[in-house]
Structure formats: structure tokens, C-alpha cells
């Protein structure tokens, strides 16, 4: 198993210093791998039910699931829409089953590839998190 570098650990520590952390970097710099290292630590310390892993697309969810698999973490990442449980409503539209009345039970939420998430979807995700949540998002740095 690969180990994150001291630089990656420093960036991760900095990102996790508050309730919402952002881990940015150019493509290929190890953001997903670094997030997987954090996930391993959270699972080891708090158990799998305490964490949810999501991404804006199925392809991104598969990618972080593969990174976690390399670290023997048996969690399958989901799309954000899947995590929030999209359901149809009576008017022919849709809404999320998780809302202000039915919050997500997880203390930790990891959002990989968050630069692809629009503000409305991110607001929906933030709205349904538990009061004591911590979130890490990974994103490409703009201009790279």
C-alpha cells in the first residue's frame, strides 16, 4: 500500500482543521488518493457507518471507490443524487428524500471531484448534513 507524502499529509491536516475542508490541486497530484487515506483513518477510528463518500458523477464515484479498494476499504462511493435519495413527487417532478426533516446520519462526508458540483446540489447536500458533520471536498485548482 502506498503512503501519502508529508506534503499531502500537511495539506490534509490543513483541510481538516475546520468543519469543511477543501483539498485542491492540479490533475494527477493525488487528491483522490489523499482523500482515500483520510477515509481509511476515519473508518479505523469511527467505523464505516460514520462516513459517506460521494461524487457528482458515476465515473468519479467509481474512481474513488477504486482508490479505497487499493487500501482495503470496502466502501462503495455513490453519486450525490444517490446519497440524497432522489424520489419522484406527486407533481411529476422530483425531490430528495433527505431534507431538513430527514438528515444524513453520517458524521463525515467526503465529496470527490467537487469542482463539478453546481451550487444548488452542494446546497442540498450541506442542508441535510447532521449538526456535528465534517466535510472534505476535493477539487481541481482553476487555471491548471
85 touches 96 (CB < 8 A): yes
Query: Cell numbers at residue 102, please?
Result: 430527514
pLDDT tens digits for range 121-133: 999 998 888 776 7
Task: Give phi and psi for 105, each to the nearest 5.
Answer: -85, -5
The pLDDT value recorded for residue 142 is 57
pLDDT tens digits for range 67-105: 889 888 899 999 999 999 999 988 889 999 998 889 999
Flag whether 25 is in a domain.
Answer: no
Flag whether 75 is in a domain.
Answer: yes
CA distances (Å), origin 93, targets 25, 79, 89, 90, 128: 37, 19, 6, 7, 20
Query: Cell numbers at residue 7, please?
Result: 506534503
Closest CA to 40 of 6, 93, 3: 3
Flag whether 45 is in a domain.
Answer: yes
Structural domain that includes position 68: 32-140
3-class DSSP string for 36-56: HHHHHHHHHHHCHHHEEEEEC
Per-state percent for the chain, helix, strand, coil, to nearest 5: 40, 20, 40
Task: Indicate the number of domains in the chain.
Answer: 1
Flag whether 111 is in a domain.
Answer: yes
Task: Answer whether residue 144 shows pLDDT above 50.
Answer: no
Q: In this predicted structure, which of 13-22, 36-45, 87-96, 103-112 has the lowest mean pLDDT? A: 13-22
Flag whether 13 is in a domain.
Answer: no
Closest CA to 110 of 31, 14, 39: 39
What's 109's domain CATH number?
Answer: 3.40.50.300
Q: How far apart are CA 22 and CA 48, in angstroms?
A: 22
Flag whether 16 is in a domain.
Answer: no
Amino acid at each position: 500500500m502506498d503512503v501519502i507524502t508529508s506534503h499531502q499529509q500537511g495539506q490534509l491536516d490543513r483541510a481538516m482543521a475546520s468543519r469543511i475542508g477543501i483539498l485542491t490541486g492540479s490533475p494527477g497530484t493525488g487528491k483522490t488518493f489523499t482523500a482515500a487515506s483520510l477515509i481509511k483513518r476515519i473508518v479505523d477510528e469511527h467505523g464505516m457507518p460514520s462516513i459517506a463518500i460521494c461524487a457528482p458523477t458515476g465515473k468519479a464515484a467509481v474512481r474513488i471507490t477504486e482508490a479505497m479498494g487499493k487500501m482495503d476499504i470496502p466502501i462503495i462511493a455513490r453519486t450525490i443524487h444517490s446519497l440524497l435519495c432522489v424520489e419522484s413527487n406527486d407533481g411529476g417532478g422530483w425531490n430528495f428524500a433527505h431534507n431538513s426533516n430527514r438528515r444524513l446520519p453520517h458524521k463525515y462526508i467526503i465529496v470527490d471531484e467537487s469542482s463539478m458540483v453546481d451550487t444548488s446540489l452542494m446546497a442540498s447536500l450541506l442542508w441535510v448534513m447532521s449538526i456535528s458533520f465534517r466535510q472534505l471536498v476535493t477539487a481541481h485548482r482553476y487555471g491548471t
